């Protein structure tokens, strides 16, 4: 009886969490594990949440991409790595990343690089370009775009 109460309580808590914001299956599994829910019950709860559309990996990936790009100014590479860490299928990741408009993406990276350029102190153009490249790569942007943009800034 206590086991059934624990299961129902965990299911209710998980439903409440998922109704407030997007979660992936891995996030919910981690929460259930931290609450002390056994593996078979975790599977039942996540299956129910997916069936009732509380959890939708495609919806989660799209929200993750939108948030990380617009708020954190991350590039496609860093976003892809973050979604892979959450065990989102590659097809869903690719579809979600396709939702980023290329023009806005290029404008974002260009403005980030130009803004960062103002704070760089370096002896020559080579050092400046290297620092800008490292900055852009750390944000998850593609090296070919960075080469093009840093070449134009010089």
- Evaluate if residue 143 carries a pLDDT over 90: yes
Task: Give residue 125's pLDDT.
Answer: 81
Higher pLDDT, 15 or 151: 15
* Structural contact between residues 43 and 32, judged by C-beta atoms closer than 8 angstroms: no
Whether pTM > 0.85 for this model: the answer is yes
- Evaluate if residue 56 carries a pLDDT over 80: yes
């Amino acid at each position: 009886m206590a086991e059934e109460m624990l299961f129902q309580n965990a299911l209710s808590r998980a439903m409440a969490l998922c109704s407030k914001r997007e979660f992936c299956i891995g996030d919910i599994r981690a929460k259930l594990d931290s609450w002390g829910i056994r593996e078979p019950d975790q599977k039942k709860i996540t299956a129910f949440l997916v069936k009732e559309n509380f959890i939708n990996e495609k919806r989660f990936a799209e929200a993750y991409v939108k948030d990380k790009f617009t708020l954190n100014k991350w590039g496609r590479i860093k976003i892809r790595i973050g979604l892979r860490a959450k065990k989102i299928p590659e097809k869903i990741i690719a579809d979600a990343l396709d939702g980023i408009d290329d023009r806005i993406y290029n404008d974002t990276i260009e403005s980030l690089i130009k803004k960062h350029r103002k704070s760089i102190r370096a002896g020559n153009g080579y050092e400046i370009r290297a620092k800008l490249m490292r900055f852009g790569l750390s944000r998850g942007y593609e090296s070919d775009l960075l080469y093009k943009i840093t070449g134009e800034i010089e």
